[in-house]
Chain A
Amino acid sequence: MGKTFVKVTAEHDESGRIRPLSVTWTDGRRYGVDRVTDVRQAPSLKGGGLGVRYTCRIGGKEVYLFCDEGKWFVER
């Protein structure tokens, strides 16, 4: 249980929508976000906190990526 803050490269479109493109892990490895299947406001029950939750497919796995007032984290 817990969370890890990560660096995110994202696309902001004209209407203000944000789409994360890739996530850079703490060790510098970079993972492309293949698809974003769901976006909603939600609490992070595993990591603690609250934010906009992006349900992402990264390397065939489903990952919750949270944006909490501009800071991004993934649950661990």
Chain B
Amino acid sequence: MARTILHIDLNNFYASVECLYRPELRGLPVAVTGDAAARHGIILAKNNVAKGCGVKTGEVIWQARQKCPGLVCLPPDFRKYLRFSRLARAIYEEYTDQVEPFGIDEAWLDVTGSTRLFGDGPAIADAIRRRLREELGVTASVGVSFNKIFAKLGSDMKKPDATTVIAAENFRELVWPLPVGELLYVGRSTRSKLANRAVYTVGDLAGRGVKALRLLLGVWGETLWHFANGLDDSPVRRGGEEGFVRSVGNSTTTPRDLLTDEDVKLIVFVLAESVAARLRRHGLKCRTVAIHVRDAELFTFERQGGLAAPSCVSGDIAARAMALFREHYRWEKPIRSLGVRGADLVTANGLTQLDLFAADAADREALERTVDGLRRRFGPYSVQRCALLQDRRLTGFNPKDDHVIHPISFFR
């Protein structure tokens, strides 16, 4: 049976919410930007006036100011955005229980089972748009289609505050002329690989043989071919259904460039503590540690290595991460951003191989759980490693709670 799937994209979400709270800014170019002093100074979102001046998301603030001299830059207030996101979700849930959020401002809804109650897909889409406008004061563009991929494409086609229908009868005319980069998961490198084979539009991709694409892109080729032909059958996850966790990681762009192993060690400790605390909260242990390093010229690499035994202790993770770092970084350039990730996860209550000679890991685990408890009761900075106090400006962030918004994968 054909499904009816909606993809709802709240337009210029952060900027819309900020403008709603400051009516005096209406009509002015507004952007929500990261903290320039902490070197997160990029455009996170902009309103339509700023968009008209050519301001792009991800741009550095000064670049945007050159294009648009009167640009009003506001700091982000994630608490506010989460509240709106929650309220929007409450509206979606009045129409279906199958709501899958994709980031803070997007969601897929499977309304197949609700069409007899509320009317067909476009009718529900229009009703939700009206309610978002009247009850929350924000606009949304909605794509209505028979699979998630086309619904998402549809929501990008007409903005703001519009419904786009991509049906089985007309998707060839609507979707196939689009550049192939519009498709979910066709990024820069896939696009250039495809361009080498003269695949420029979604239609070109759909017309190619699956085998040729598999040779070119591996399993991805097959997946993308299915996407392009409207054969994607991935389900919309039910509300509250948590995706399976594959890895737990944290990263940060530091307030100043890191120059020495000591600097790196501080950041690695902060990140490893957050990763370990999150692993413990989910009852998991990791067997592999990965680090992600970006230098001052934005060259990025990732390296990973195994642990002797599965662990959710920050000391183990930090030590492995530092070993990886020392092994793979030659300090030709200072470092701008660092990440630590625990992968290859196992459940924590499983049986473990004991080590005859090493100290018992259970003690350290118990110690860290105690620290977790103290931090929960008295705040994240109540108990800290002494080393972190050497440079508070560098270590004064809390990756576990500061960043509530995690990018999520379509294939969870």
On A, residues with C-beta under 8 Å from B are 1-2, 40-43, 45-50
Q: Smallest Cβ distance from A53 to chain B, in angstroms?
A: 9
Q: Provide the residues of chain A in CB contact with B135, threshold 8 Å.
A: 40-43
Is the beta-carbon distance between B23 and A45 smaller than 8 angstroms? yes
B392 interfacial by beta-carbon distance below 8 Å: no
Whether B259 is near chain A, meaning CB under 8 Å from some CB there, is no
- Asked whether B87 is an interface residue with its Cβ less than 8 Å from the other chain, the reply is yes
Query: Are B20 and A43 touching (Cβ within 8 A)?
Result: yes
- Within 124-155 of B, Cβ neighbours of A (below 8 Å) are at 134-138
CB distance from A70 to the nearest CB of B (A): 13
Instruction: Tell me whether B377 is interfacial, beta carbon within 8 Å.
Output: no
Chain B residues, CB < 8 A from A42 = 134-135, 137
Q: How far is the CA of A76 from the CA of B319 in the complex (A)?
A: 59
Interface flag for B357 (CB, 8 Å)? no
Asked whether, in the complex, the Cβ of B136 is within 8 Å of the Cβ of A48, the reply is no
8 Å CB contact of B136 from A2, A43, A46, A47: A43
Determine if A49 and B20 form an interchain contact, defined as CB atoms under 8 angstroms apart.
yes
Within 8 A of A (CB), among B6-24: 20-24
Residue total for B at the interface (Cβ-Cβ under 8 A): 12
CA A1 – CA B107 in complex, angstroms? 34
Q: For residue A2, which residues in chain B have a CB less than 8 angstroms away from its CB? A: 23-24
The reply to whether A49 and B87 form a contact with Cβ atoms under 8 Å apart is: no
CB neighbours (8 Å) of A1 from chain B are 23-24
Q: How far is the CB of A76 from chain B (nearest CB, A)?
A: 11
Most chain B CB inside 10 Å of its own CB: which residue of A2, A41, A42: A41
Q: Which 10 A-B pairs have the closest CB atoms?
A: A43-B137, A41-B135, A48-B23, A48-B21, A1-B23, A49-B21, A48-B22, A43-B20, A42-B135, A43-B136
Please name all residues of chain A whose beta carbon is closer than 8 Å to the beta carbon of B136 when the two chains form the complex. 41, 43, 50
Determine the main DSSP class of A at the interface with B. loop
Q: What's the minimum C-beta distance from B91 to chain A, rounded to whole angstroms? A: 9
Residues of A within 8 A of B137 (CB): 42-43, 45, 50
B24 touches A41 (CB 8 A): no
Residue of A nearest to B91 (CB): A41
Q: How far is the CB of B24 from chain A (nearest CB, A)?
A: 6
Please, how many angstroms separate the alpha-carbon atoms of A40 and B135 in the complex? 8
Q: Which residues of B contact A46 (CB under 8 A)?
A: 23
A-facing residues in B201-259 (Cβ within 8 Å): none
> Which residue, of B24, B137, B138, has the highest number of chain A Cβ atoms within 10 A?
B137
Question: Given A40-B135, A41-B135, A42-B135, does the pair A48, B20 have CB atoms closer than 8 Å?
Answer: yes
- The distance in angstroms between the C-alpha atoms of A45 and B24, with both chains bound, is 10
Write the chain A residue with the least CB distance to B131.
Answer: A41
- Return chain A residues, CB-CB under 8 Å to B21: 48-49
**Are A50 and B24 in contact (CB-based, < 8 A)?**
no
Q: Which residue of chain B is the closest to A46 with respect to CB atoms? A: B23
| Chain A residue contacts of B23, Cβ below 8 A | 1-2, 45-48
Closest Cβ of chain B: how far from A15's Cβ, in Å? 19
- Distance (whole angstroms) from the CB of A39 to the closest CB of chain B: 12
Contact sample, A vs B, 10 pairs, CB 8 Å cutoff: A2-B23, A41-B87, A41-B135, A43-B135, A43-B136, A45-B20, A45-B23, A48-B23, A50-B84, A50-B136
B391 to chain A, nearest CB (A): 38
Q: Interface readout for B77-119 with A: 1 if CB under 8 Å, 0 if not?
A: 0000000100100000000000000000000000000000000
Q: Please name the residue on chain A nearest to B84 by beta carbon.
A: A50
Smallest Cβ distance from A68 to chain B, in angstroms?
10
* B20, B23, B138 pick with most chain A CB within 10 angstroms: B23
Q: Name which of A2, A40, A48, A49 has the most chain B CB atoms within 10 A of its CB.
A: A48
Which residues does chain B contribute within 8 Å of A49, judged by CB atoms? 20-21
Within the complex, what minimum Cβ distance (angstroms) separates B88 from chain A? 11
| A49 and B134 alpha carbons, distance in the complex (Å) | 13
Chain B contacts for A40, CB-based, 8 A: 135
Considering only residues 34-52 of chain B, those with a C-beta below 8 Å from chain A are none
Q: Which residue of the partner chain B has the closest CB to A53?
A: B135
Q: How far is the CA of A38 from the CA of B280 in the complex (A)?
A: 49
Chain B 151-174, CB-CB to A under 8 Å as 1, else 0, gives 000000000000000000000000
Q: B134's closest neighbor in chain A, by CB?
A: A42
List, in ascending order, chain B residues with CB within 8 A of A41's CB: 87, 135-136
**Nearest-Cβ distance from residue B320 to partner chain A, whole angstroms:** 44
Who on chain A is nearest to B80 by CB? A50
How far apart sit A45 and B23, CA to CA, in the bound complex (Å)? 7
